[in-house]
Structure 1
Amino acid sequence: MTRHVMVTGAAGGLGSAIAARFAAAGDRITGVDLREEPLRASVDALASAHGVAVDALTADLSAPEAGSVVDRAWERSGPIDVLVNAAGIWPATPLLDMTAAMWDHVLAINTRAPMLTTVALGRLAVAAGRTASVVNIASGAAVRARPGASHYCTSKAALEMLTRSCSVELGGHGIRVNAVSPGYVAGSSQEVNPVTEEYTAAVSGNALGRIGQPDDVAGAVFFLASPDAAWTTGAVLRVDGGSSAGNPALPVHWAGTTEAQSPR
């Protein structure tokens, strides 16, 4: 069955890969982003590669009316079956340089916008008697703080709880809400969220020994939105090469056992 899938942040590396995974399955795509030209290029590429119906909607997801983009997509292209909240920003702001405006902007895009779009979809789906699936893009930063990212880490920790809260309140209406929590993924938009080579080298260690690719995350999102995950809601799926499991680069902490550690 062809679905209508809406992806925010669809002009970015991760959002475009997620949209492409659904398009490859024949789903109709509505891409949402603030940047009009990259967004149009992204959805046009999907239409050309997969022969699916696409639409592009520009929206400022930091605005209090961010949820209205869901209403626009529903009106233009029909009921939405899957909503993927992939838009996000991660500026580097040392804590002692933080201002209220900087903090609020990150939380507005990374946490408030997914809440508003989920609420908007929930209202429309309930009124129409339809089910739906929401997948939020969280981050390993939800459970691991790092310098310069207090606002980002907080926004993603809040997004994980938002995912669980929405799943509890919407599950009775047949609306599933889950999250994918990626580790470091190559190919994100350097224009919006640049990272240095030094940072990449510092965070690239994991049990599987490679940096994640956008398709790794896209596959997990596709699964959570599929009938194969029909009894899954409120889950946070960590797709991080094992980085949340532990650090394989650490040496064995001691070469043997002390006398007090020896079995008796």
Structure 2
Amino acid sequence: MRHVLVTGSAGGIGAAIAARFAADGARLTLSDYRADELSATADALRTEHGVEVAELPGDLADASFAEGLVDRAGRLDVLVNAAGIYPATPLLEMTAQAWDRVQDVNVRAALLTTVAFGRQGGSGSVVNISSGAATRARPGAAHYATSKAALEMLTKACAVELGAHGIRVNAVSPGFVTVDSPANPVTEAYAAAVSVNPLGRRGLPVDIAEAVYWLAGEHAAWITGAVLRVDGGSTAGAPSLPLHWDGETAVQQGSLEGQLHA
């Protein structure tokens, strides 16, 4: 039976990840700063799956809490760093405090938990939750986009140093996922603008959970330092853009090119 620690697991993607491991009979330790919601999630998993679930509520921006989280959880097989915050802060309103809190939760906490996981000894798997914002900035998200870009490089750096210890470190980068989260609310206007993709639907927390579960398991045993983009194909391109020539011009040009290559 694997022991899995999932941060940011009171709801949304983190809760879905916890549920996927619970369905496999894993022993779980869940952490989130929202203690009441965390308890509700843990109770639901115990009832539905009959698994052992421990709760460690706390704020990952507190370095001492983040550093001690893994040791408090006990010997782990899988660590999932799903906790993340994405406040909207226009660049000219950015403060050191606002910047630091996002970096502390989204990057430093993942570093500290991964280091503690490595120090436990033995093999295992770490999966970090990144974002498409790691490669594409947007207004109000300078701190968030920077944190996710840093998290992806942290994933690679940890994979390089921990591979010799039998620990794999990977990341899953979700596209837009429908999550009703009071901690990280988004407007419908924003959701509509960023959720266009070749597969034609918004992501669900379970889409991300399945990817995390696979990366953490034996079928991905030779994968480390990878970033798996689970985004409906939005990274591949924008299907909503029109042809850069109108249809008639494109047909004519295609005919001309065919003649030239004949």
TM-score class, shorter-chain normalisation, is over 0.9
Structure 2 residue runs without a partner (length 5+): none
> How many angstroms apart in 1 are the aligned matches of 2:98 and 2:49?
39
| 2:116 pairs with one of 106, 116, 120 | 120
Trace 1:23-172 onto structure 2 (pairs within 5 A): 23-65=22-64, 66-74=66-74, 79-124=75-120, 126=121, 130-172=122-164
Letter in 2 for 1:45: A
Worse-superposed segment, 59-68 or 28-37: 59-68
Name 1:225's counterpart in structure 2.
216
> How many angstroms apart in 2 are the aligned matches of 1:165 and 1:171?
10
Instruction: Please list the CA deviations of residues 103-134 of structure 1 after superposition, one character each: whole Å capped at 9, or x if unmatched.
Output: 0100000011000000011001x2xxx11100
What is the SS of the residue equivalent to 1:55? strand
Letter in 1 for 2:70: V
Letter in 2 for 1:96: L
Aligned CA distance change for structure 1 residues 188 and 115 (closer, same or farther; 3 Å): farther
Instruction: Please list the CA deviations of residues 60-110 of structure 1 after superposition, one character each: whole Å capped at 9, or x if unmatched.
Output: 100122121111001xxxx10000000000000000100111001000000
Q: Flag as ranges the 4+ runs of structure 1 deviating above 2 A.
A: 255-259
Compute the displacement of 1:168 (Å). 0.2
> How many angstroms apart in 1 are the aligned matches of 2:34 and 2:209?
21
Aligned CA distance change for structure 1 residues 188 and 142 (closer, same or farther; 3 Å): farther
Normalization by structure 1: what TM-score? 0.93
Compute the displacement of 1:12 (Å). 2.1
Q: Which has the higher helix share?
A: 2
> How many angstroms apart in 1 are the aligned matches of 2:50 and 2:103?
36
Trace 1:243-258 onto structure 2 (pairs within 5 A): 243-255=234-246, 256=249
Question: How many residues are treated as equivalent by the alignment?
Answer: 253
Contact 1:10/1:87 (<8 A) preserved = yes
| 1:183 pairs with one of 171, 175, 186 | 175
Instruction: Compare CA radii of gyration and give the structure with the larger one.
Output: 2
Name 1:242's counterpart in structure 2.
233
Instruction: Please list the CA deviations of residues 15-38 of structure 1 after superposition, one character each: whole Å capped at 9, or x if unmatched.
Output: 100000000000001000111110
Letter in 1 for 2:140: G
How well do the aligned residues superpose, as a CA RMSD in angstroms? Answer: 1.3
Contact 1:91/1:193 (<8 A) preserved = yes
Sequence identity percentage: 63
> How many angstroms apart in 1 are the aligned matches of 2:124 and 2:58?
22
> How many angstroms apart in 1 are the aligned matches of 2:168 and 2:151?
15
Normalization by structure 2: what TM-score? 0.94
